């Protein structure tokens, strides 16, 4: 287990360093001007010595400031990053927990109704939700809420971050995909397990179906489900950007998106550079989340099935 954790931490550190190096690529652009200073064209000119200089400057800055430094107003950048990151975790963590546990429950339901008349609300519904873009589902939910509001039936604030409505609605938006993703994985895992010899043996001995499902099929299939939890986390993190920007929920993903700047905004002779320091802070926090879930998933799989730790 220690070896697995160390390996995953090393992979995380390597990935984080690569991302930092990419962010520190110099933005050396040569602009061509026409009459009256009009824009005629631009050419990117990469110089490795400038890249090395950026790296040296960054680490010098980190050493001298003892962190990410302060912004123009004198406020510590790391404190700001941490504050909005915790705001993002307020919707991200519940969405992950809902996605995992409700997803397993939905997968079990899909498996149980697969041969009944209610099967259309089982696996087909799960696949249907997975096939629709998240943004379309969010818009549909918002339109339904607005329709209900027009009749005076509900009063829900759909945009912002400072009300409980905003938090709950964003948890709902963010949890839809992980629920359906884990439900689909659970369903397929149970289908695979039911055809194995030990299940047929248990049935031949008169073991009840519920006991077979929960004590044998689900327990033995859980490591396979956990193996996909990292994919679920990555998808949910990517959806976090969509949800926060679309609903103006001012969390870490929202602010990171805005620190990227716009590649179309420039004036001749200079580019609007993104806030590299803040970006590195956000990337550190988000990749740390990925590492944490990766380790938790690996430890859980090892605890359930010791052989998983050797793979």
Q: For the residues of 46-87, what is the DSSP string, one character each?
A: --HHHHHHHHHHHHHHHHHHTSS-B-TTS-BHHHHHHHHHHH
Domain range for 255: 87-259
Residue 70 in contact with residue 77, Cβ under 8 Å?
yes
278 is a domain residue: no
11 is a domain residue: no
Q: Structurally, how many domains does the chain consist of?
A: 1
Q: Would you give per-residue pLDDT tens digits along the chain (311 residues)?
A: 788 788 899 999 999 999 999 988 887 777 777 776 666 777 777 889 989 998 998 889 888 888 888 877 788 889 999 999 999 999 999 999 999 999 999 999 999 998 888 888 999 999 999 999 989 999 999 999 999 999 989 899 999 998 999 999 999 999 999 999 999 999 999 988 887 777 777 777 777 777 878 777 888 888 889 889 999 999 999 999 999 999 999 999 999 998 876 444 444 444 444 488 889 999 999 999 999 999 988 888 877 765 554 44
243 is a domain residue: yes
What is the SS3 assignment for 150-196?
HCCCCCCCCCCCCCHHHHHHHHHHHHHHHHHHHHHHHHHHHHHHHCC
125 is a domain residue: yes
232 is a domain residue: yes
How many CB atoms within 10 Å of residue 270?
10
48 is a domain residue: no
49 is a domain residue: no
Can you give the CATH number for the domain in which 172 is found?
1.10.3720.10
Residue 106 in contact with residue 179, Cβ under 8 Å?
yes
SS3 content of the chain, % helix, strand, coil (to 5): 75, 5, 20
310 is a domain residue: no
- Closest to 253 in 3D by CA, of 234, 237, 275, 276: 237
Length of the chain: 311
């Amino acid at each position: 287990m220690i070896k697995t954790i160390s390996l995953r931490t090393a992979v995380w550190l390597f990935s984080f360093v690569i991302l930092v190096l990419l962010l520190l690529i110099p933005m050396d652009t040569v602009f061509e001007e026409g009459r009256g200073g009009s824009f005629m064209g631009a050419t990117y000119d990469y110089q490795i010595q400038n890249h090395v200089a950026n790296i040296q400057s960054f680490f010098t800055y980190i050493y001298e400031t003892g962190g990410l430094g302060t912004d123009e107003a004198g406020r510590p950048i790391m404190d700001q990053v941490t504050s909005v990151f915790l705001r993002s975790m307020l919707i991200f963590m519940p969405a992950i927990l809902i996605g995992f546990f409700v997803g397993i429950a939905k997968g079990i339901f899909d498996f149980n109704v697969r041969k009944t008349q209610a099967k259309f609300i089982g696996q087909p519904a799960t696949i249907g939700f997975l096939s629709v873009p998240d943004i379309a589902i969010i818009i549909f939910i918002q339109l339904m809420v607005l329709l209900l509001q027009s009749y005076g039936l509900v009063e829900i604030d759909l945009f912002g971050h400072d009300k409980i409505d905003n938090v709950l609605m964003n948890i709902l938006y963010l949890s839809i995909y992980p629920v359906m993703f884990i439900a689909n994985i659970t369903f397929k895992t149970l289908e695979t397990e039911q055809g194995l010899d030990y299940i047929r043996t248990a049935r031949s001995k008169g073991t009840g179906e519920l006991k077979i499902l929960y004590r044998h099929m689900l327990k033995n299939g859980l490591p396979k489900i956990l193996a996909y939890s990292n994919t679920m986390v990555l998808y949910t993190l990517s959806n976090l950007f969509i949800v926060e920007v679309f609903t103006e929920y001012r969390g870490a993903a929202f602010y990171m998106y805005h620190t990227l700047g716009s590649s179309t905004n420039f004036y001749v002779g200079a580019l609007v550079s993104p806030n590299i320091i803040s970006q590195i802070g956000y990337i550190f926090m988000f990749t740390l989340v990925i590492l944490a879930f990766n380790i938790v998933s690996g430890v859980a799989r090892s605890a359930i099935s010791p052989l998983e730790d050797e793979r």
